[in-house]
Each structure stands twice: as C-alpha cells, then as structure tokens.
Amino acid sequence: MFVVLRPQCPSEEERQVLHAAEVAQLGPKLTTIHGRRIIALRGEESQTDAIPFEAFPGVERVVRLEAPYHLAAREFHEHDTVVEVEGTRIGGGGLTLIAGPCAVEDGDQLMAAARAVKEAGANLLRGGAYKPRTSPYDFRGLGLEGLKLLAEVGAEVGLPVVTEAMDTRQIDDVVRYASVIQIGTRNMQNFPLLEAAGRTGHPILLKRGRASTVTEWLCAAEYVLNTGNERVILCERGLVAFDTAVRNVLDLSVVPLAKRLSHLPVLVDPSHGTGRSELVPAMARAAVAAGADGVLLEVHPQPERALSDARQALRPAEFAALAPDLAAIAEIVQGRPALI
C-alpha cells in the first residue's frame, strides 16, 4: 500500500501519518519523487487497512496494490480448484450441468423434472425448499418437507442435490438432505451465513450479488475459505438492470475475469440471468463459450404450472436439445490459454 500526501501537506500532518503507521508496525518508508511525497507501507491489506489513512488531513489518496482476499486468489494458488461432489468433479476442465425446478412443489413435479434432466445429461439436481420471495404473500417453498423430497428424488434418480439455505438456522437441515449448500444472490454478503455454511465442510455454491463487484464476490468466498472449507463454487446470475426487457443483465465477462483472479470454479445461471426462457439457450451457449465450468438451468415439466419463476423455466425437451450444443462448445473452448 502507498499513501500519497497532498501537494502542500504541512510537515505536522506528514508526521501524523508516519506516526500512526509506525505505531501499527507497518514500517512506513517516505520517498519524494518529482516533488510528491509518498509513504510506502509493508504488510498485508488486512493490517494496513486497520488504519484509516484516507481520513487523515494530509492524505490525498491511498493506493492499494494487493487484493483484500488471499485464499481465493490465483496468485497464491496457481492450479484450478476442483470441487468433488459425490464423484462429480466441478472445475478444472469438463462441463457441469445442474438442472431442476426453481422450487420443489410436490413429489411428482420434482420426480418428472429430475428424471428428465438426468436423462438429458445433468450432473446435479437443483430445487428450492426455502425460497426467498420479494413479497411475503408469495409461495415460499415447502421447507423441511421440500428437503426430504429432494433427498428422496435425488437418491432415486442418482443425482446429488443442490439447494439454498437462507438462514443460519436452516444449515443443519440442508446439510442433512443435500450435497451442496447454495448461498443465494441476496445473501452473498450475509456473513454469518457464509461462515456457518463454511464450517460444515460441505461444498458451497456462492451466487454473485446482483450489485456486487468481483472483489466483493471473492471476499465473500474468502469468508467461506477462511473457515477452512476449500469447496467453494462461484456462480454468476446477472446484475441489476436499467432495461426492464430482461430481469437481470448476465455479466459473462466476469467468467474469464474471475478465472484469472481466482482458482475457484465458475458456473453461470442463465435462467435468473435473463428471466426469460426464450433467451436462456443462447445465453447458456454463450456462458460455456466464455469459459464457464458449467451452467445452472431451471427446468420445469410444465412451466405454466410453476409456483415461482415460471417465466424463465425451460421445458424438458428444450433442455435436452440444448445439452449437446453445450458439450460441443465446451470442447472447442476448453484448454484455450486465454481463459486463464
């Protein structure tokens, strides 16, 4: 970290900055280059950030050289992390297909969806038992009963299950019935939830917040990694949009960017990322072409009967037609040097 002093910073104010840095054992070193006074500080961001240099009257600006995350950084972990989920490998090459309904509604709906996606090549089953809904009057999921249905149906068709936990009190049940804990976009910075989920050692699928920077996202991953749990899977799902023609703006550039900055696997959810089923196939293909390690897709046996997000669900036949395209594109792009 460098602290750049103001052009005519009085020496008293300069001393104040140096003193604070010395007390914090940051080894400040003052240099003058071309008339500008600069103070270099030693130490990781976590230490240097402990002093609010930006609030000192003599300081013009602070230049940070390191990312605020370490465990998530590719700089310190060169090889791709592969998260294994009951035999399926996510990351490090290959393509993971996670599919299923937005919400578990009943056993028949879930079984129909699960069989269809399994047959078309899905590797994991998704489905919500606890549903975050904008309005308290909307369908909010079956809760524990939904978890049990997921476990039963997943075992029956032979697919590990991914499902969301919305609160620290739900973690134990989700771990009991599912193989992967999903942290939703609204909870990306729910730090107690991240830590509680992390401590279970279960794989964590971490969706990006819809107004979160890539740095904030990797810091959220760092909360999980910092509990000792290395099984983190990132998932882009669209940013807040000023154009209401789509529900969100799917930011695919974050795929190659996150893969450069981090060693963690990166998935994409084009269903929430667009909110419109007719755009989902094109964006799923684009996600794989951008280098994603897999996609998360909402598939419902009868979208016009879905209790949530009906507008964005694929029909089983649409999913089956899409899967071979994704595999073909993955074959072209994987191993391309520019991806990392």
Restricted to residues 88-107, the positions that interact with a second copy (CB under 8 A) are: none
Are residues 69 and 53 in contact, defined by beta-carbon separation less than 8 angstroms?
no
**Residues 17-36 vs a second copy: string with x where CB under 8 A?**
---x------x-x-x-xx-x
Contact call for residue 273 and a second copy (CB under 8 A): yes
Which one of 106, 156, 167, 172 is in contact with a second copy (CB under 8 A)?
Answer: 167
Give dist(CA 13, CA 23) in Å, integer: 16
Contact call for residue 290 and a second copy (CB under 8 A): yes
Q: The tokens of 1 are what?
A: 């970290």
What is the 8-class DSSP label of residue 103?
B
Which one of 77, 89, 115, 311 is in contact with a second copy (CB under 8 A)?
Answer: 311
Contact call for residue 77 and a second copy (CB under 8 A): no
Which one of 149, 283, 295, 297 is in contact with a second copy (CB under 8 A)?
Answer: 283
Amino acid at 255: V
- In the complex, least distance from residue 152 CB atom to a second copy, rounded to whole angstroms: 25
Are residues 131 and 137 in contact, defined by beta-carbon separation less than 8 angstroms?
no
Angle at 170 between CA 238 and CA 90, to 5 degrees: 50
Contact call for residue 264 and a second copy (CB under 8 A): no
Contact call for residue 137 and a second copy (CB under 8 A): yes
Restricted to residues 173-232, the positions that interact with a second copy (CB under 8 A) are: 186-187, 189-193, 210-211, 213-216, 219, 222-223, 226
Stretch that binds a second copy, among 120-128, 154-162, 228-236, 299-307 (CB under 8 A): 299-307
320-324: long-range contacts at Cβ-Cβ below 8 A with a sequence spacing of 24 or more? Answer: 320/116, 320/119, 320/120, 321/281, 322/281, 322/284, 322/285, 322/297, 323/97, 323/120, 323/121, 323/122
